[in-house]
Structure 1
């Protein structure tokens, strides 16, 4: 009888490949864990950052930590030492990986929809939809949906044992992504989240162009169509939107096609591993992607560096310049009422 800890034939990898993968996993673990923890710390420490929009970003950071801070160190340790984990613990590790991936992808959609409603809808609609209780339920739903997607894999006993684990270096044990059902579920999740993200940002861009406004998508600043020329940073709206969409597409679509094609035919281990490593980079880039243009995050980070945490005591509101939304609030009385609701 074949030992479960033995590698299937053809799954062995060279020493240089092991060193490269171990180094990449270690670096991504360090940077991803640090960046995600910094974002979470800033939102928790500064009241001005405690908004519905940032709640979804924090939700994604928590999911990314499951991959960067928990799964990646285990994978790096196994590749470097070759010592397999116990069967039950390995299954738990793979389940955490799948849970972190799905919640992170759902968080991308929640962030995109939040920005779509904030920028394209009237303030009353945004305030009604993103009340504190509703926001909490949306976040809880992302975890419950992910757990529901994981249950079929947990209840199944049909895993391929005679081939390398998909998208990873061979572990000699069953991977959650080696299950066709789990791989198909992840491919469907990536496809759905990509459609939502592209739709929301396309609608945002169209809304801004039609209303002759300039919006910085990543820090929600709306600037009126002034008679003089726009600042250079406001002219780069297309670049900001393109950056968000391109990074998401470049990191997820290769894995999507590998998962989809892998359900029908076998693919080379090098292709599976390379697309998987590119996908893992998304969990490191997420915190930077959604905060690098947000002035409130940058101010808060500078305050932490300078030891000025007391500046975070201001009451938080949604990061949007209310007094500049003239096309949404044409009357002064409406503006005052809206400001009163936000406060």
Structure 2
């Protein structure tokens, strides 16, 4: 390993460490607050207890674990004030991979849920997204990463943990050597597969919206009847919502994915690795925002929370209230 004299645009390794620590601290505080808020709102307001929001909460739980537990420890580790044994570092990397993969899978679950809701018949949606099926999907999003971790856990012992990094998380003062074929590929392929799922689902939703006489808001799950032709901006915004979600995901994950692929072939400098990894960490902060900031029900519940109220009529848990309105679009 060779030391790098410049990282993240700073003049010295110590400057890079300070910048990384500040960013991790900001991500930790803001991400913890945002994820906790969404989880609390869904748990407190009956109108928010839907299948779609269950998948969003699943992603918020994994993001909360990363922001509240992993990032503070990484901040301490960067400064070097608290040495960590190799076995402990390997354990934390395993947990990070678990939480990271659950977050990525949650994005796919939300996209697939909205794709089926908007492009398929209501009977198909009700059949696929029964409460039991939704619970199995969420459980699978946790079990699958554990199964993917088994080869790594069985193949690494305490003696080798010090020299093996699970998925090329940045060593702030080092140039990375080519990573192990299994661990690095597993990380990059996971991001690539989720990106393809999101692009497929949201492009299908966008096409459905464009050809429908009645437009569907993919974030608010609302149908706008007889949209006047005098409001072209309103029409464009409905499709832009889907593009916004895709862009936020791709821009946050693609740099880290390509840097990881490159690390399989040749050493990668610490600057690009650190920058791509910090951009990827931003996804854990954005998760609760990109799915709720345009949702009127979430905004209404948040205003009720500020007033100290718990409003909302009881609704059936696990069934989206927009199913009846979306049915008017046809299969």
TM over 0.5: yes
CA distance in 1 between counterparts of 2:113 and 2:228 reads: 30
Structure 1 counterpart SS, 2:83: coil
Structure 1 counterpart SS, 2:71: helix
The residue number in structure 2 matching 1:185 is: 186
Structure 1 counterpart SS, 2:254: helix
* CA deviations over 1:123-153 (Å, ceiling 9, x no partner): 0000011000000000001111111111122
Instruction: State yes or no: 1:318 paired with 2:320.
Output: yes
The residue number in structure 2 matching 1:224 is: 225
Instruction: State yes or no: 1:294 paired with 2:314.
Output: no
The residue number in structure 2 matching 1:26 is: 25
Taking the TM superposition and a 5 Å limit, the aligned residue runs for 1:208-287 are: 208-226=209-227, 228-230=229-231, 232-287=233-288
CA distance in 1 between counterparts of 2:135 and 2:113 reads: 13
CA deviation after TM superposition for structure 1 residue 98, in Å: 0.5
CA deviation after TM superposition for structure 1 residue 234, in Å: 4.0
Structure 1 counterpart SS, 2:216: strand
CA contact (8 A) 2:173 2:270 kept: no
CA distance in 2 between counterparts of 1:138 and 1:162 reads: 32
CA deviation after TM superposition for structure 1 residue 18, in Å: 1.0
Structure 1 counterpart SS, 2:163: coil
CA deviation after TM superposition for structure 1 residue 193, in Å: 0.5
CA deviation after TM superposition for structure 1 residue 155, in Å: 1.4
CA distance in 2 between counterparts of 1:54 and 1:261 reads: 36
* CA deviations over 1:277-331 (Å, ceiling 9, x no partner): 000001100100111111111111111111011x1452255142734743339xx
CA deviation after TM superposition for structure 1 residue 228, in Å: 5.0
The residue number in structure 2 matching 1:111 is: 110
CA distance in 2 between counterparts of 1:270 and 1:162 reads: 20
Which structure 2 segments of 5+ residues have no match? 6-11
Aligned pair count? 318
The residue number in structure 2 matching 1:124 is: 123
Residues 297 and 162 (structure 1 numbering): CA distance in 2 closer, same or farther, change over 3 Å? closer
Instruction: State yes or no: 1:53 paired with 2:55.
Output: no
Residues 11 and 150 (structure 1 numbering): CA distance in 2 closer, same or farther, change over 3 Å? farther
Structure 2 counterpart SS, 1:326: helix
CA distance in 2 between counterparts of 1:211 and 1:46 reads: 32
CA deviation after TM superposition for structure 1 residue 169, in Å: 2.8
CA distance in 2 between counterparts of 1:24 and 1:231 reads: 40
The one of 6, 10, 16 equivalent to 2:3 is 10
The residue number in structure 2 matching 1:332 is: none
The residue number in structure 1 matching 2:170 is: 168
Q: CA RMSD in A?
A: 2.6
CA deviation after TM superposition for structure 1 residue 222, in Å: 1.6
CA contact (8 A) 2:42 2:53 kept: yes
Structure 1 counterpart SS, 2:220: coil
Structure 1 counterpart SS, 2:240: helix
CA deviation after TM superposition for structure 1 residue 106, in Å: 0.6
Residues 303 and 227 (structure 1 numbering): CA distance in 2 closer, same or farther, change over 3 Å? closer
CA contact (8 A) 1:42 1:49 kept: yes
Residues 291 and 227 (structure 1 numbering): CA distance in 2 closer, same or farther, change over 3 Å? closer
Structure 2 counterpart SS, 1:83: coil
CA contact (8 A) 1:190 1:252 kept: yes
Taking the TM superposition and a 5 Å limit, the aligned residue runs for 1:20-169 are: 20-157=19-156, 161=163, 166-169=168-171
CA distance in 1 between counterparts of 2:137 and 2:173 reads: 35
CA contact (8 A) 2:13 2:173 kept: no
Relative to the length of structure 1, the TM-score reads: 0.85
CA deviation after TM superposition for structure 1 residue 242, in Å: 1.5
